Structure 1
Amino acid sequence: MTRHSTPCRGTTRHDTLQHAAACRNVPQRSTMRHKAPRRTETRHRMPRHATTRHDTPRHAMTCHNTPRRLPPRHMDSVVRIVEALESTDPGFTGTVPELARALGGCSTPGCRAVLGEPPEVPPAPPTLNHEQWLLFTQLLHHDAAAPESGAVLAPDGSTVALAPLFAGIEGALKRASGWSFPTTEPPVDALYAVTITEALATSFLLARDGDGNRATLGPGGCWDDVDDPQNYTLLGPPSPVPDAIANGAMDGVLLGAHLAREPIPLAELLRGYYGTDNGTEKGRPPSSYRRRDFGVLTGPGKLEEEVAAMLRVLRVLPPTQELLEEVGPEEVVAIARQAARDFTEVYVECPAIVPRCMWGARPYRGTPKPLTLPLGSVYIHHTFVPSAPCRTFTACARDMRAMQRFHQDTRGWDDIGYSFVVGSDGYLYQGRGWHWVGAHTKGYNSKGYGVGYVGDFSATLPDPDTIALVRDWLRPCAVRTGRLHHNYTLRGHRQMGHTDCPGNSLFHEIETWQGFEMEVEKPPLGPEPPTLLKTYKWRTAAPMGDREHEKDTASPGSRRWTRLQGWKRSYSPGAG
């Protein structure tokens, strides 16, 4: 289920009458209730490649006659708005986070109890144009049924809700200025209370009274267009803590803590944390480290302690008293423990994985074959081509599309072969994913996950942080979540076939990893069910993508044999 787009791009409840003539047959309300996608994977229109009319949800209607179009729902737009509001004469009193609270960014009972009642909504600041003001008011408008509706796309490809982000920043600024927070019993840490603990407490409290099928965390989602994001679609059943809220909350804690130590202009802080213009080739933006940094800052037990404290606060607040009438002290502790454990497992101990619809994947051809979990192996690859590591979301998404085109169009496979692909931007990219047989290690595709590092690592290694994504994050996460046996084995692709993959340098690196097995496992007794749509035929020109050929029957000395010997065999097809 998804709830994000407005009835007319560029309009809100406040200006519906102005645009009524331009937006015919559009419901006059501030948000539309989107229906859940029928598929677990939603394809969206991505820039500069083929689309169909089904790529954009039918309910994401656009008013073609609307005279004004809102800026993209992108963090760059937010930074420009904040920069304008921090000018010498913004036209309102107070801070930008206080303005965000006035517009509805802190409307929940717990947030109000900590930060106080919101100020009055001021007139439109003269430093903002009409479209910027409309966008800002839409993003901060509170919708309890669709908490992800106030989210924007960050340059690193993650989606961030602004309400918890600005609430955390305001809480930190008030603390740094010596502001006296309202007394709560028991006392709560304001930085966590206004960002994440109330949402977690509410989510798991509601799940307690449900039928056991209510989602407590997630899901993620996808944008209609990463160059001009306007509509965000959830990829599963909604919860009070979708990925966008989790990201915004973690960022609110991290940036709030930073401001408490070193006050700087907010626009400067946001620009430095998120980066601009889709990131930088010189290095990862700090936002791509949010999971690691939040885990370090929060520490073991802190989140559980704060969720328990917030539950006790909610017990005495009139709007939430009824929810906790039959919840005893021991159950409060149990709910807090479960909420903290689940959040930590999903958002701190497991790596972020970019879904297929965000990198612009084509659909799978045919019917995918499910894996039988847990699996017993992990096979490490390098892509060889692309030979350079991708260091931004834009570059990694482009490489993913190029490899999928090569695997489908040139090799005739059903989809990109890898289970997951590792970018040097701090993110994993979903290929076939956790549940579907890949085409990465011929003869072994149904026995393990194929994980490919983008780049040629014959003579060099990936960045240390990129190595750690698989070594320290993906593998332990897969074991904890039951997708990989605890006694799994790890091997390089070269051990399973005639290939140099994953390159000498990367292979020597993985030899030091836990679970590495030098002995080669025996191939399956019977052939794996084929996934090829056609027989792969060798091309005279080296194609884009993994350029490693299968054994060729050309006679030694022939022209074809000579040409084939000149190509470096660094990747062997894993059709299966």
Structure 2
Amino acid sequence: MSPGNWKTTMVVRGILLILYGLLLQPEPGTATLPLLMDSVIQALAELEQKSPATEAGHIASMWLLSAQGSGAHNPLPRFLLEGQSLKTAKLAPPSLSPEFQGLIEEVARHGVQDGKEYGVVLAPDGSTVAVEPLLAGLETGLQGHRVVNLPLDSTATFPDIGATVPDLKATSSAHKDTSADVNSADVGTLSPNVRDTDVDAEVTFLDVRPSSTGVQVTSPDVQASSPDTKAKSPTTVDSLLMVTLARDLGLHFLQGAQTESNSGLGTEGCWDQLSLPRTFTLLDPEASPLTMAFLNGALDGALLGDYLSKVPEPRPPLSHLLNQYYGAGVAGDPGLRSNFRRQNGAALTLTPNLTQQVWGTLILLQRLEPAHPQLQGMSQEQLAQVATHAAKEFTEAFLGCPAIHPRCRWGAAPYRGSPKPLKLPLGFLYIHHTYVPARPCTDFALCAANMRSMQRFHQDTQGWDDIGYSFVVGSDGYVYEGRGWHWVGAHTRGHNSRGFGVALIGNYTAELPSEAALRAVRDELPHCAVRAGLLQPDYALLGHRQLVRTDCPGDALFNMLRTWPRFNMNVKPRTARRASGRSKRRLPLMIPLATDLQ
């Protein structure tokens, strides 16, 4: 690595750790900025502008070590950074504007208390993100991929998982595989091995450097090649997954048995307002700390940390990287953005690997904290069982399910009247297209506006109690909650109580929806509904035109539906008689081409 590139890397790492320090040791400030990811990016940009490069290269890691001691006790970041041979220096963080200082104070620590969630911000894609695990992943990625070697005395073997998990290897169709040219690299180039004698574990720094064939990086050792094999205890742990996901997943599932339909993962919530968000209230007041926002932040930290560990020098400023990731895509790749964090995260955290990482992290944590109340007295076999369950639940209940924006996120008006409950599980999925809006929505602002427009038409013009559909799928990577899983909709006349109505935003008479939207309808949404007991395992899928005289869901989409495994070919279409060109022009805005949805 050239001196110039080394200096740039240390500046970037120093900026991040200064921000980390300000998060954990805030000075009094005036919190007037909204809790938005854009505000965090602006604060980070100001830090990057004001921080002197001469200081950042010396105190970055030691600053994070000292900052960790001021918050909740978490020994893992301290353990990981003790091996860095950087000079200690007294940090003089640059002074920030009162607005940014107040913002940093508010997002200092992630936590859940009295039904409120703290340390979270609203991202441009409509998702809520915890800042703490995001920063942890960025810092670990800037260090380069590292593994923690775990010399174990136990000969415990990995238990059979046995359960079948969905195929989650596919990433977004627009996402480029940045690891195709990744090869093994030499170990120990950046720093000599450092041993912590108290826990008898070894931290290995891995060389990350550009080459003529691409980026070289050594990935942590994965003992199990499939979830059905027996493997020995893990010998290494990936520091990136350890600080973002593995630790919290393991401790969460140590707290007690979780049911398959309710793993306690991914509770959503509502902001007090979307334009200037200040308070985030969870939909389940008894939610665990592994909320949707925490998992979003942890996945974002893991994905961006993985990117930083592989990208050649000089690395981009963190404010620039976050602006791209929560915008159009990193380095011009629309697939590498927050909208597709689950698809990309599935490739990064395949179940066998994640199981080993959770198991190894619990082993390391047990050695670092022998008196930990949840880990004390736990055997290798017990930790392995917890890791197995944690990885399976995270893979199936979170990564394998679509990201669903709740009604409050898109600004839904209240339901009019009293909703009628469904008798679950149902036996059908009815597929629609909206026809109007005709253009697919590819960002949160447009999709949310479309949802509000459709709801106004259904309530004010059609006279219905609410938007008719159970769920609506955008081309932005998200599903939008309509009437949801529990209330009778107004989508398929005569059949509303027998199935869920799922609409894709757009006119699909002559063209198909995006692959991400099709995957959500075909695979992810029904898989999770069956798993949760909301949809019968032998459910059937029908196009709207098979039950109502209509052209919905459009010729192109209906022809695609006919190739899907769950499609019921025994019900013949009842396509509507084509309207004349004159009558089409007179259709008011938001009316489907054929009969109404009910």
Taking structure 1 as the reference length, the TM-score comes to 0.74
Seen in structure 2, the aligned counterparts of structure 1 residues 102 and 151 have a Cα distance that, compared at 3 Å, is farther
Equivalences for residues 208-227 of structure 1 within 5 A: 208=257, 216-227=264-275
Instruction: Give the C-alpha shift of residue 474 in structure 1.
Output: 1.5
Could you tell me which amino acid in structure 2 is paired with residue 85 of structure 1? L
Q: What SS is found at the alignment partner of 2:516?
A: helix
The Cα offsets for residues 108-155 of structure 1, whole Å up to 9 and x where unpaired, read as: 4243354347999955523x3121122123212364758941111111
**What is aligned with 1:462?**
513
CA distance in 1, matches of 2:25, 2:318: 28
Find out whether 1:93 has 2:145 as its counterpart.
no
**What is aligned with 1:264?**
316
Seen in structure 2, the aligned counterparts of structure 1 residues 446 and 507 have a Cα distance that, compared at 3 Å, is same
Q: Does structure 2 retain, via aligned residues, the 8 Å contact 1:380–1:493?
A: yes
Seen in structure 2, the aligned counterparts of structure 1 residues 482 and 99 have a Cα distance that, compared at 3 Å, is farther
Q: Does structure 1 retain, via aligned residues, the 8 Å contact 2:122–2:129?
A: yes
Equivalences for residues 365-514 of structure 1 within 5 A: 365-514=416-565
Greater alpha carbon shift after TM alignment, 502-511 vs 116-125 = 116-125
- After superposition, the CA RMSD in angstroms is 3.6
CA distance in 2, matches of 1:201, 1:340: 9
Could you tell me which amino acid in structure 2 is paired with residue 272 of structure 1? Q
**What is aligned with 1:165?**
134
**What is aligned with 2:35?**
73
Find out whether 1:131 has 2:94 as its counterpart.
no
Q: What SS is found at the alignment partner of 1:82?
A: helix
Greater alpha carbon shift after TM alignment, 143-152 vs 469-478 = 143-152
Identity of aligned residues (%): 42
CA distance in 1, matches of 2:73, 2:486: 38
CA distance in 1, matches of 2:24, 2:308: 32
Within the candidate set 282, 285, 288, 1:234 is matched to 282
CA distance in 2, matches of 1:116, 1:13: 19
Instruction: Give the C-alpha shift of residue 347 in structure 1.
Output: 1.8
Number of paired residues? Answer: 475
The Cα offsets for residues 40-82 of structure 1, whole Å up to 9 and x where unpaired, read as: xxxxxxxxxxxxxxxxxxxxxxxxxxxx552221111111222
**What is aligned with 1:565?**
none
The Cα offsets for residues 485-505 of structure 1, whole Å up to 9 and x where unpaired, read as: 222211110111111001111
Q: Does structure 2 retain, via aligned residues, the 8 Å contact 1:441–1:450?
A: yes
CA distance in 2, matches of 1:178, 1:292: 34
Find out whether 1:544 has 2:578 as its counterpart.
no
Seen in structure 2, the aligned counterparts of structure 1 residues 412 and 312 have a Cα distance that, compared at 3 Å, is same
Within the candidate set 274, 289, 294, 2:326 is matched to 274
Could you tell me which amino acid in structure 2 is paired with residue 140 of structure 1? A
**What is aligned with 1:247?**
296
Find out whether 1:189 has 2:238 as its counterpart.
yes
CA distance in 2, matches of 1:389, 1:231: 31
Seen in structure 2, the aligned counterparts of structure 1 residues 514 and 543 have a Cα distance that, compared at 3 Å, is same
Q: Does structure 2 retain, via aligned residues, the 8 Å contact 1:196–1:250?
A: yes
Seen in structure 2, the aligned counterparts of structure 1 residues 480 and 465 have a Cα distance that, compared at 3 Å, is same
Within the candidate set 304, 319, 339, 2:390 is matched to 339
Seen in structure 2, the aligned counterparts of structure 1 residues 244 and 334 have a Cα distance that, compared at 3 Å, is same
Q: Does structure 2 retain, via aligned residues, the 8 Å contact 1:215–1:238?
A: no
The Cα offsets for residues 73-116 of structure 1, whole Å up to 9 and x where unpaired, read as: 11111112222222264586358898777655984424335434
Instruction: Give the C-alpha shift of residue 182 in structure 1.
Output: 6.0
CA distance in 2, matches of 1:428, 1:154: 16
Q: Does structure 2 retain, via aligned residues, the 8 Å contact 1:406–1:543?
A: no
Q: What SS is found at the alignment partner of 2:121?
A: strand
Instruction: Determine which structure has the larger strand proportion and give its number.
Output: 2
Within the candidate set 44, 47, 51, 1:82 is matched to 44
The Cα offsets for residues 14-47 of structure 1, whole Å up to 9 and x where unpaired, read as: 677x8xxxxxxxxxxxxxxxxxxxxxxxxxxxxx
Taking structure 2 as the reference length, the TM-score comes to 0.72
Seen in structure 2, the aligned counterparts of structure 1 residues 380 and 121 have a Cα distance that, compared at 3 Å, is farther
The Cα offsets for residues 147-201 of structure 1, whole Å up to 9 and x where unpaired, read as: 9411111111111111111111111222355485665656421101110111111
Seen in structure 2, the aligned counterparts of structure 1 residues 251 and 310 have a Cα distance that, compared at 3 Å, is same
Seen in structure 2, the aligned counterparts of structure 1 residues 292 and 499 have a Cα distance that, compared at 3 Å, is same
Within the candidate set 381, 386, 408, 1:330 is matched to 381
CA distance in 2, matches of 1:415, 1:71: 34
**What is aligned with 1:297?**
348
CA distance in 2, matches of 1:492, 1:518: 10
Q: Does structure 1 retain, via aligned residues, the 8 Å contact 2:404–2:480?
A: yes
The Cα offsets for residues 431-475 of structure 1, whole Å up to 9 and x where unpaired, read as: 011121111001111111111011111122212222222123222
Unpaired runs of 5+ in structure 2? 1-22, 146-189, 202-234, 575-584
Q: What SS is found at the alignment partner of 2:483?
A: coil
Seen in structure 2, the aligned counterparts of structure 1 residues 387 and 116 have a Cα distance that, compared at 3 Å, is same
Q: What SS is found at the alignment partner of 2:42?
A: helix
Instruction: Give the C-alpha shift of residue 13 in structure 1.
Output: 10
**What is aligned with 2:156?**
none
Seen in structure 2, the aligned counterparts of structure 1 residues 420 and 120 have a Cα distance that, compared at 3 Å, is farther
CA distance in 1, matches of 2:263, 2:348: 27
CA distance in 1, matches of 2:236, 2:81: 15
CA distance in 2, matches of 1:302, 1:107: 28
Q: Does structure 2 retain, via aligned residues, the 8 Å contact 1:379–1:449?
A: yes
Q: What SS is found at the alignment partner of 1:461?
A: coil
**What is aligned with 2:164?**
none
